Amino acid sequence: MKLTASILVAQSVCGFLRHVQYGLRQPLPFAASRRRFGSVLHVAIALYEKSGRRLDTALAALSTFVLPAPDLDEARRILAWRHGLERDRSRRPFLIEGALHTTVDDHRLDVRMDRLDRREGEFVLTELKTGRQLEPSSIRAQLGVLSYVIGRTLGKTPSEWEVELLGARRILRLPAERSPAELERVVAGLARAVARDDREPEPSDAAFCGRCPARRYCPRASPRPLPLRTPEPAEPPAQLNLFDGEPHKYAGGHA
């Protein structure tokens, strides 16, 4: 079975959400415009970092994407904010929009991370979020899955977890789980739940039910749940790859 960080994180939030989103590929009411804004902003930030923190390069790339004017203005403000942050010269980029692959319980696990730095022989893991608030039920699961793969492939787990909350112009630092055994216990448990198709609507955070995108299909959250689509025999979707293939001219070859 092929797994991604996104699938495992969805399982950690609620098995029913994972089943609907990735098992059935049911269309969910995510805002398409916000997804596109996030994807474009990730590309621009990655180009900024890969070009040696050249703001003009990122802004030039940004101007070639088709976004509503308010979104373009917000993206420019975010790029300018990041550019103005004091730079930690002891940190060196190791992976930017980097992909890593490993196994868990004989299942292939593919992940992609926004940024992984080296500082004084340790790894610092950073994820970018375009909103103003974190989803507490998923962010630690996401960082834990990424840390598990980093430890398995690079031999050392990150010593620090960092989240750039771009919409709020904040950088949050979370306590990192460094124990390979604990990371494997959590990740393997999620993988086994996916493998046995655990789809019980039991969210890890009860407050999440009220904002769950699969709420209208859920037999526990809705008195009259909508019918679900028939499953399609297909591979689960891969991690979002912002650079490979032939999309945009700025999303081409990179180091």
Q: Mind giving me the DSSP string for the chain? A: -EEEHHHHHHHHH-HHHHIIIIIS-------HHHHHHHHHHHHHHHHHHHTTS-HHHHHHHHTTS---HHHHHHHHHHHHHHHHSPP-TTEEEEEEEEEEEEEETTEEEEEEEEEEEEETTEEEEEEEE-SSS--HHHHHHHHHHHHHHHHHHHSS--SEEEEEEGGGTEEEEEPPP--HHHHHHHHHHHHHHHHTT------SSGGGGGG-TTGGG-TTT-SSPPPPPPP---PPPPPP-SSSSS--GGGS---
Q: Where on the phi/psi map is residue 162: left (φ > 0), alpha (ψ -120 to 50), or beta?
A: beta
The answer to whether residue 13 sits within a structural domain is: yes
The answer to whether residue 255 sits within a structural domain is: no
pLDDT reported for residue 233: 61
pLDDT reported for residue 31: 61
Q: What domain range is 71 assigned to?
A: 2-239
| Percentage of the chain modeled with pLDDT above 90 | 74
pTM: 0.87
206 is written with which tokens?
């009860």
The answer to whether residue 245 sits within a structural domain is: no
pLDDT-derived band of residue 88, with 50, 70 and 90 as boundaries?
Answer: very high
The answer to whether residue 217 sits within a structural domain is: yes
Number of domains, the chain: 1
The answer to whether residue 79 sits within a structural domain is: yes
| pLDDT single digits (tens) 122-148 | 999 999 999 888 887 789 999 999 999
The CATH number given to whatever domain includes residue 46 is 3.90.320
∠139-145-149 over CA atoms, to 5°?
Answer: 145
| Percentage of the chain modeled with pLDDT above 70 | 89
The answer to whether residue 70 sits within a structural domain is: yes
Over 70: is that where the pLDDT of 193 sits? yes
pLDDT reported for residue 112: 96
The answer to whether residue 82 sits within a structural domain is: yes
pLDDT-derived band of residue 232, with 50, 70 and 90 as boundaries?
Answer: low
Best mean pLDDT range from 6-20, 125-139, 231-245:
6-20
The answer to whether residue 251 sits within a structural domain is: no
Which comes out higher in pLDDT, residue 171 or 245?
A: 171
